[in-house]
Structure 1
């Protein structure tokens, strides 16, 4: 199986949920400038689970934030499907994110005063969109949250809170779910359960997931691992096991 690359000459938008062309991100100016990304071109396949890995400071979180429209590049272009994010105004970008992007964070980012159900429905409320009861019930049942919908975050375990966060990301039926270290605050058993649910959202519910992680075992759950080093694409692994991921990251660290 071959991985998907993107060039300025061609983009197959029918197969790509998100993509970047010659993406550059620089913080600061002059001698103090930090080049987080250097002319990165990458395509995220629709209906697949992609992980982004690399040493600390490699640019993996920066790449995810740019693909998700949470930050603006210094140069290059970013697409969500066939919509160019880098050509949108702030208000247009906000509307696209609310409609087409779901987020799962390490810190859960749930509102403590809202119940689980209210937190799940928050993106719909912000967008002024009605809930699809059948879809909501499907994901609530699938994530094992049926008996917890009336509980507030402080009454839930870490794993249950992350399940609520995942349900919140899924409820809008986004084009892409971006997960930033989603198991970082969880113990290994609970983390494995969350990864299995992300995997299920791809396999059973047709979602596209992009996950930043430093954990080789977590990355091995993905269909593809994109390796970054010094702000550039350093390799791709397709359907790897944890040992292959760990070895690749170690080699990057020694390069």
Structure 2
């Protein structure tokens, strides 16, 4: 089946020449949530992980999500990435109301429009780095854009490591493979859940620098959950959550300004 036929029930991809970068004019949201709630359990045991979140993520921007432990950061990301279903409210990704999709269309949305970078890498141990990078495209039967693939691999410095299995790579190299896998299909948005949580400071800087460059140079849209002010400083904008709600946001963050804001939330 052709790529066009695979996505006939989804709106057309947005053009890739949208304004982007730290100093760009405002662009329309690539993903939005309205009245988003997520409740685990029921009755007195119910946990309200999200309690009515309204948020927009702008196309061609790098957004960090921060908040105290239990604030709903990862739950929000999983609902936005269509990896979990909200209890109520709406999620729109690249013009698609996620709640209206059946299972097959939801699978195509996740496969074709959304990239995801996990803290634990989630690489297939029996495959080489090269095979892990192209795995989603191979499963979808989509042709790899070799020029873009080589650009991503080159920026991440993975060329000499493409034949290696994950157990032959350092943690930083594994996360760079995971980042390449998320980007190689040119998704509308990439979600990254604590992508530097298992990395040392040098490897963290390499991965964050690549995410930053993918926004500035290629117009990618990135949303990253992190607890590290130094990581949030790579973003254009920080959204702060507390008790399942958006309570503040900050543009042009620095590690110091984010840390100061987090201190007031923990007080």
**Given the two structures, how large is their TM-score scaled by the length of structure 2?**
0.89
Instruction: Write the mapping of 1:117-156 to structure 2, written as runs, cut at 5 A.
Output: 117-156=130-169
* Cα distance in structure 2, aligned partners of 1:87 and 1:244: 40
1:225 pairs with 2:228:
no
* Cα distance in structure 1, aligned partners of 2:139 and 2:264: 44
| Partner residue in 1 for 2:7 | none
| Partner residue in 2 for 1:5 | none
* Cα distance in structure 2, aligned partners of 1:133 and 1:90: 30
Contact in 1 for aligned 2:94/2:113 (Cα 8 Å): no
| Partner residue in 1 for 2:201 | 188
1:42 pairs with 2:55:
yes
SS at match of 1:204: helix
**1:1-35: per-residue Cα shift (whole Å, max 9, x none)?**
xxxxxxxxxxxxx6111000110110011111000
Give the RMSD, CA atoms, in angstroms. 0.8
Instruction: Write the mapping of 1:188-227 to structure 2, written as runs, cut at 5 A.
Output: 188-227=201-240
1:237 pairs with 2:264:
no
Instruction: Write the mapping of 1:39-188 to structure 2, written as runs, cut at 5 A.
Output: 39-188=52-201
The match for 2:28 among 15, 24, 30 is 15
**1:198-232: per-residue Cα shift (whole Å, max 9, x none)?**
10111111100000000010011100000000000
* Cα distance in structure 1, aligned partners of 2:110 and 2:206: 27
Runs of 4+ aligned residues of structure 1 deviating over 3 Å after TM superposition are: none
* Cα distance in structure 2, aligned partners of 1:158 and 1:147: 16
Displacement after TM superposition at 1:86 (Å): 1.4
The match for 1:26 among 22, 36, 39 is 39
| Partner residue in 2 for 1:8 | none
Equivalent residue pairs, number: 241
Identify unmatched segments of 5+ residues in structure 1: 1-13
* Cα distance in structure 2, aligned partners of 1:221 and 1:138: 21
Displacement after TM superposition at 1:82 (Å): 0.9
**Given the two structures, how large is their TM-score scaled by the length of structure 1?**
0.93
SS at match of 2:218: coil
SS at match of 2:163: coil
* Cα distance in structure 2, aligned partners of 1:20 and 1:75: 11
